[in-house]
Amino acid sequence: MSEIHVKAIYENGVLKPEHPLDFNDSTVVYITIRRTFSDFLEKIGEPVAKEDIDTVLNETRYRTWYDDNK
């Protein structure tokens, strides 16, 4: 089995691929759907962070480096 990645838009109850697909009629396919993070933010609004992300990343990097160099 081969795997392809296709971007599609959902309109009026139907998934519409961005480009035509080279399949015969009645070809059965399995679909995995992943929504983009920007779609998620549009739906719920931009969350307010409880912590500064740069501080958290720097602390994590330091702990990882320190643990690796003991």
Which of 21, 24, 26 has its CA nearest to residue 6? Answer: 21
DSSP three-state, residue 28: coil
In a domain, 27, yes or no: yes
Rounded CA separation 59/49 (Å): 16
Q: Which domain holds residue 30?
A: 8-68
Task: Indicate the helix (H) or strand (E) that contains 11.
Answer: strand 8-11
- The confidence score (pLDDT) of residue 70 equals 62
> Do the domain assignments include residue 2?
no
Q: Are 18 and 8 in contact (CB under 8 A)?
A: yes
Look at residue 3 and tell me if it is in a domain.
no
* Per-residue model confidence as pLDDT tens digits over 15-56: 999 999 999 999 998 888 877 777 667 777 766 767 777 888
Q: Is 59 among the domain residues?
A: yes
Number of domains in the chain: 1
